[in-house]
Amino acid sequence: MAYTAPVRDMTFLLREVLDYPRYGNLPGFSDAPIDLVEQILEEGAKFTAGVLHPLNTVGDREGCRRHDDGSVTTPTGFKDAYRQMCEGGWTALGADPAYGGQGLPHVLNLAFNEMVSSANMAFGMYPGLSHGAYSAIHIGGSDEQKQTYLPRMVTGEWTGTMNLTEPHCGTDLGLLRTKAVPQADGSYRITGQKIWISAGEHDMADNIIHLVLARIEGAPAGVKGISLFIVPKFLVNPDGSLGARNSLQCAGLEHKMGIHGNATCVMAYDDATGYLVGEANKGLATMFVMMNEARLGVGIQGLAQSEIAYQNAAAFAKDRLQSRSITGAKRPDLPADPVIVHPDVRRMLMEARSFNEGARAFAFWTALWGDLLHKSPDEAVRQKAGDYMGLLTPVIKAYLTDRGFANVSNALQVFGGSGFTEHWPMSQFMRDCRITLIYEGTNGIQALDLVGRKLASNGGRAIFSFFAEVDEFIAAHETDADLKPFVEGLRTAKGRLQQATMWLMQNGMSNFDNAGASSHDYLHLFGLTACAYMWALMAQAAQAKVRAGDADPFYVNKIRTGEFFLARVLPDTAAHLEKVQTGAAPVMALAEVDF
Amino acid sequence: MAYTAPVRDMTFLLREVLDYPRYGNLPGFSDAPIDLVEQILEEGAKFTAGVLHPLNTVGDREGCRRHDDGSVTTPTGFKDAYRQMCEGGWTALGADPAYGGQGLPHVLNLAFNEMVSSANMAFGMYPGLSHGAYSAIHIGGSDEQKQTYLPRMVTGEWTGTMNLTEPHCGTDLGLLRTKAVPQADGSYRITGQKIWISAGEHDMADNIIHLVLARIEGAPAGVKGISLFIVPKFLVNPDGSLGARNSLQCAGLEHKMGIHGNATCVMAYDDATGYLVGEANKGLATMFVMMNEARLGVGIQGLAQSEIAYQNAAAFAKDRLQSRSITGAKRPDLPADPVIVHPDVRRMLMEARSFNEGARAFAFWTALWGDLLHKSPDEAVRQKAGDYMGLLTPVIKAYLTDRGFANVSNALQVFGGSGFTEHWPMSQFMRDCRITLIYEGTNGIQALDLVGRKLASNGGRAIFSFFAEVDEFIAAHETDADLKPFVEGLRTAKGRLQQATMWLMQNGMSNFDNAGASSHDYLHLFGLTACAYMWALMAQAAQAKVRAGDADPFYVNKIRTGEFFLARVLPDTAAHLEKVQTGAAPVMALAEVDF
């Protein structure tokens, strides 16, 4: 069980595919020229592989323990690893310099997050959720709230959580019941029960800043009456020191299939002191800005689990001797050939590999748009970036986790019976990865968000902008003989996505169920097309190196892996298009009672 | 958490689709007219839902415990449930009357096995493995061996196991090292270590009859030197009473992702007394006959887990209130609509349902051929039956488990966050189901068996026979307006399977890696085509009822579910064909060292 962070692939993307240096004039980027980025990634690789990864199995086996007083102990080593993470400045990487952050580009933070999520996904959720809470306060909080909470969340001394779900409401937050009663001093008393609160209680930080959705007494019903509150575990004195223990506690830990190392808490708020973030009844808006960021992070978790599962499966396949190649012994010196000689084992490895590299490019490319959204001086660029972030976030969240999980399952399969035992790490990867399809909005919700909201927004501006960009690339490269299969694959995929989009525009409005019934396949068709575009960009960069005589096998392997994607993955676009176009009728034909 | 055995669907298949009564003149069938079969299935439904299913969670949570003396305690209630199973005669259902069995048709036994595997898969493996060992002795043993062991295996007083795998050899049995030393009395001394031995030790039966593959001293290397031995836990005296404890023991239990209720043992044989089954060095042949039977059983496990996961997901989707239908509130009397109103939830349910019903038909249809193989007086029928069993067994094993697992994962997804907790049963279904893709030959091995052995066997007689049967059906029904979409769907799928078959015949022989690289997609294309055929048969039967004025919604729902399969599942055949035809090049392009 080992993990090697894909730094080579990451720097290839930044340096050669996405031309990171051209953004050197933007804030944050100017502080992190590409050479420094490489150094940071190398350091991140050492930290995640050396400190976090050895604790992955420990976390799975030990899990978290809740004590009678409501306190929670994390697995052996987590506390110390978290301390090292803070000391290394990793929690501050992408945070605002105004509050002690390093203000580095989002894309760099995302790269580091991939490493963390590969090395130890359950651990990564503590700083991950904390960053979400940081973002919510950063977006919606008052100056005083920011000054009070952000600096110590940036150093990692305090962590944060997001409290949305209640037993009767997960996706449908309009149903939530946790109530907030205004106090004379401007604060609120928060009472209610929240469930599935990741990192809700633990022993790694001095304070935990809970962000809690609640309904102020007398607020409208439904989503229009939801407000967001800061509810710290320990109240903070005016001088910044910790004050009284707030009346909230972890009432229980969830027993889960995976991510055992993360404390998934039932949180009980009993007249706890809370502070309104932003305006009353506007809590969801802030939460959703934060949530979009979190959704990208979950997509990265899907990729990250696929990456480490692939690495382990490839190592096992080169080591495990079993049967001879069907084309004749490849290692007659050994009692049997390593199983990597078998084409169906290769198929599973190549599916994972071609996904990992394409999905990583897709995520990096999108993250760069996220940086441009906040940092570009050009309004047109910022608008396009905003359009893209809206359009692509649900695709990244759902496509990367659906396919990531499928790859983890295939990687387990490479191990044969060993994969099913807990002696090897594959079971944990699969059990951990399974949550990524669910949390931060199930993948079905992502697909509905894509077809129901993001596609139609601003008259389809975002998707047409994406099509125009792809068309431009195709037009610019269609005579490049070296790129021909990539351009043709992209053209076919994009054509199918366009057909599906037209179908949705014509049929999804007249009957919303048509949109809902095709949303899953449409999202996958989108993910495949986006990855086909990424593969074309990567092949272009790699071909340039090969043509220039660069002998590094990295480049030829990159092209070959892309060719696998074209031949063996992209054909799924045809099936997805056909399914999109069936509409809702076959899906909705049965009466509820007949299920 | 509940389970209702699909007796209605089973009797529909037997009575109306497969015309079971027409086989009434065959042995076994004559003892079980269709009315009796229905009664047996109803009793089986009661037993599995009432006795086995309540122990499913217990088995998962408690697991098995090994004690210092090597004995193993099964989960609370398993021993008593097994006693009830024996007393009910269920272990004797399909067994030979010459040894106390009931000799009922294989298809009936398979139907009962589906129920057992849905209700409690880990439990079902104890009698399941025992039946495998019974079959091996029945096929390969001497009369004396049969008289000694079979009657008490049929009553269930004794159970059996299959010992193939060793730490360094799973798929590649040619590597096995367990040795057998001939003794003067004709017995052998068996020494070696076997791993992953399901039901290898437990507390439910008086004796355990291990069937062990071993190499007689001086035997040829590789698969040509493997012999099969009976190695009982307790030696059996000439009068049938139990004698000395044999020198074998359970040296450890495997810690697994799922099927915790089943004891997966490391078995240590230390000069244990064993008895040769059949001829020396011919052990694999007997083992493979038994294994083909076991492979069908594993396919059924995949279906069974998909069925119970579907049932639970459907119940949850009707109960869980969350958000409003996108076409307007369906239950304005409630705070939100049940999630079954959402098209993407329906999609997941319908995918599972259309698979379950199609796969069940496929398995029943195949099992009937299995009966005909042994019981038909017509040699041509027996030949066709043998061809079909060979051809279809790997398809049933791999297609039903690959898709079954995907459905279980989707059913878990219907639960949202609840599905990821161990409070609900979905996690167990998924963890249990995952092994079915691996054991009794990984699904990759099944695919290779299909394209490398079964297709080519007898000049392709089996596959051409299948094509001819499908063509005949299409020709007979192409003018039936009611069946038109089913006939057209079948024609398209079969056409693609035929193209893929031609491609394989032309390219798989010149380069075996072409066959290996396309085997997975070819197998899935086959599974889809077989299910399309089944759906056409089922639609035909259901249409006949509807036309005759039968108002039972079962029939209309059957047709609608089939239409979903045509519209939303069958399009995958296009992608599979395209992938088959790419050949090995993109799959094998990278050097081993570059993974």
CA B478 to the chain's CA centroid: 33
User: Are the beta carbons of B343 and A255 separated by less than 8 Å?
Assistant: no
Q: Find the helix or strand (DSSP H, E) in which B8 lies.
A: helix B7-11
pLDDT of the residue at B40: 98
Q: What is the mean pLDDT of chain A?
A: 97
CA gap B100, B107 in Å, rounded? 19
Q: Mean pLDDT, to the nearest integer, of A122-147? A: 97
pLDDT in tens, A456-484: 999 999 999 999 999 999 999 999 999 99
CATH homologous superfamily, domain B7-143: Acyl-CoA dehydrogenase/oxidase, N-terminal domain (1.10.540.10)
User: Are the beta carbons of A586 and B557 separated by less than 8 Å?
Assistant: no
pLDDT of the residue at A1: 60
Q: How confident is the model at residue A356 (pLDDT cuts 50, 70, 90)?
A: very high
**Has residue B465 got a pLDDT over 80?**
yes
Residues in B 240-279 with any Cβ partner in A closer than 8 A? 254-258
User: Phi, psi (5° rounding) for residue A197?
Assistant: -90, 105
pLDDT of the residue at B171: 87
User: Are the beta carbons of B171 and A318 separated by less than 8 Å?
Assistant: no
Chain A touched by B192 (CB under 8 Å): no
Q: What percent of chain B has pLDDT over 70?
A: 100
Buried b (16+ CB within 10 A) or exposed e, A24-33: eeeebbeebe
Instruction: Give how far A377 is from chain B: nearest CA, Å.
Output: 39
CA dihedral A528, A530, A532, A535 (to 10 degrees): -130
Q: What percent of chain B has pLDDT over 90?
A: 97
User: Are the beta carbons of B517 and A343 separated by less than 8 Å?
Assistant: yes
pLDDT in tens, B318-366: 999 999 999 999 999 999 999 999 999 999 999 999 999 999 999 999 9
CA gap A160, A131 in Å, rounded? 7
As annotated, the active-site residues of B are 440
Cβ atoms of B327 and A512 closer than 8 Å: yes
Partners of residue B165 in chain A, C-beta under 8 Å = 417
Q: Which two tokens stand for residue A111?
A: 């790269």
Chain A touched by B551 (CB under 8 Å): no
User: Are the beta carbons of B322 and A175 separated by less than 8 Å?
Assistant: yes
Partners of residue B446 in chain A, C-beta under 8 Å = none
State which residue of chain A sits closest to B552, comparing Cα positions: A594
Chain A touched by B338 (CB under 8 Å): yes
Chain A touched by B411 (CB under 8 Å): no
CA gap A434, A438 in Å, rounded? 8
On whether ipTM exceeds 0.90, the answer is: yes
User: Are the beta carbons of A422 and B256 separated by less than 8 Å?
Assistant: yes
Bridge partners, residue B65, by sequence: B73
CA angle A452/A456/A459 to nearest 5° reads 170
User: Are the beta carbons of A417 and B438 separated by less than 8 Å?
Assistant: yes
pLDDT in tens, A258-271: 999 999 999 999 99
Cβ atoms of A296 and A107 closer than 8 Å: no
Residue B156, sorted as left (phi over 0), alpha (psi -120 to 50) or beta, turns out to be left
- For residue B446, the one-letter residue type is Q
Cβ atoms of A352 and A407 closer than 8 Å: yes
CA gap B433, B405 in Å, rounded? 6
User: Are the beta carbons of B257 and A353 separated by less than 8 Å?
Assistant: no
Q: Which two tokens stand for residue B431?
A: 């963890």
CA gap B14, B24 in Å, rounded? 12
**A166, A327, A337, A347: best mutation site toward chain B, by most B Cβ within 10 Å?**
A347
Interface A-B: count of C-beta contacts within 8 A: 260
pLDDT of the residue at A289: 83
Bridge partners, residue B213, by sequence: B228
User: For domain A158-281, which CATH number applies: 3.40.50.1450, 3.40.50.10470, 2.40.110.20, 3.30.1510.10?
Assistant: 2.40.110.20
pLDDT in tens, B496-525: 999 999 999 999 989 999 999 999 999 999
> Domain ranges in chain B?
7-143, 158-281, 442-586
In sequence order, the 6+-apart residues with CB closer than 8 A to the CB of A250 are A66, A70, A71, A72, A200, A201, A263, A265, A266, A267, A268
Residues in A 496-535 with any Cβ partner in B closer than 8 A? 511-513, 515-517, 519-520
Burial class (CB in 10 A: 0-12, 13-18, 19+), A237: exposed
Instruction: Give how far A102 is from chain B: nearest CA, Å.
Output: 35
Q: What is the mean pLDDT of chain B?
A: 97
As annotated, the active-site residues of A are 440
Q: No. of H helices and E strands in chain A?
A: 19, 11
Q: How confident is the model at residue B48 (pLDDT cuts 50, 70, 90)?
A: very high
pLDDT of the residue at A288: 86
State which residue of chain B sits closest to A351, comparing Cα positions: B587
Instruction: Give how far B97 is from chain A: nearest CA, Å.
Output: 36
Q: How confident is the model at residue B205 (pLDDT cuts 50, 70, 90)?
A: very high
pLDDT in tens, A164-205: 999 998 889 999 999 999 999 999 999 999 999 999 999 999
User: Phi, psi (5° rounding) for residue A327?
Assistant: -100, 15
Instruction: Give how far B486 is from chain A: nearest CA, Å.
Output: 14
User: Are the beta carbons of B586 and A575 separated by less than 8 Å?
Assistant: no
Instruction: Give how far A204 is from chain B: nearest CA, Å.
Output: 24
Partners of residue B318 in chain A, C-beta under 8 Å = 592, 595
**Has residue B285 got a pLDDT over 80?**
yes
